[in-house]
Amino acid sequence: MTFEEIKEKVRQYAEKYAARKGYILNPNLEELDLVYEGLAKRREQYGAQYCPCRIVLGDKQEDRKIICPCVYHEEEIERDGMCHCALFFKPE
């Protein structure tokens, strides 16, 4: 799979997930694209879409928590209006 194809998969995942949860995606398309790039790079490197804004420790059990959507995002979106990477936002 080419990098562009991986990125497309990431994009589809994010759109579907946001729709299902009632979130919106980062309205700044440049920032959004950077998060897609980051997730796609991780998917390419590790075979799992680890959060691009967090450190992969190399401990499968721990690292599972940061596979997007990470275990932290709901609380972050509720509290800060967006997840740590600014991928998912709370609708106004």
**Which residues are identified as catalytic?**
53
Integer angstrom CA distances of residue 44 from 7, 19, 31, 32, 82: 9, 25, 20, 18, 25
Site track for ligand SF4 across 6-35, x = CB under 6 A: -----------------------------x
Q: Which is nearer to ligand SF4, 40 or 51 (CB)?
A: 51
Q: How far apart are CA 4 and CA 78, in angstroms?
A: 32
| Torsion, CA 67, CA 19, CA 3, CA 40, rounded to 10 | -20
Residue list 33-92, contact with ligand SF4 (CB under 6 A): 35, 51, 53, 66, 68-70, 73, 83-85, 87-88
Least CB distance from residue 3 to ligand SF4, whole Å?
Answer: 18
Q: Which is nearer to ligand SF4, 40 or 87 (CB)?
A: 87
Q: How far apart are CA 36 and CA 7, in angstroms?
A: 6
List residues binding ligand SF4 (CB under 6 A): 35, 51, 53, 66, 68-70, 73, 83-85, 87-88
